[in-house]
Amino acid sequence: MYLKYAIWGVMILSSLMLLLIVFRSRSGGRVVASLGLNVVVAAFLLYVLNLVSSYTHVELPINTATLGTATLLGIPGVMLLVGVKLALL
């Protein structure tokens, strides 16, 4: 029981320290805003792909793996995910 609270405490403390380090630098806010914008664009791309899945017959789940790949690689990442999906099925 106490271990659970200790783990949560360490997680919260490390998250606060990470935020302090990121926002301490002058360009930290821009990095966080850019990453947030990339996540939103990636989620929108995956949503649109799933929206037109009745025509393309390609459905990709929106989970952390697909969202992370689409966030880091952008449109080529979504195309990579579609290619992997088509190659494996």
Show the tokens assigned to 16. 């606060």
Mean pLDDT (the chain, rounded): 86
Please name the helix (run of DSSP H) or strand (run of DSSP E) that holds residue 61, with its range, or none.
none
Show the tokens assigned to 15. 């998250």
Dist CA 16 CA 70 (whole Å):
27
**What residue type is 73 in one-letter code?**
L
Task: Measure CA 26 to chain center.
Answer: 24
Question: In Å, what is the CA distance from 84 to each residue of 60, 77, 81?
Answer: 10, 10, 5
Per-residue pLDDT of 11-42, as tens digits, reads 999 999 888 887 787 777 787 788 888 888 88
> If you search the block for the tokens 């459905």, which residue do you land on?
59
Assessment of whether the complete model's pTM goes beyond 0.75: no
**What residue type is 36 in one-letter code?**
G
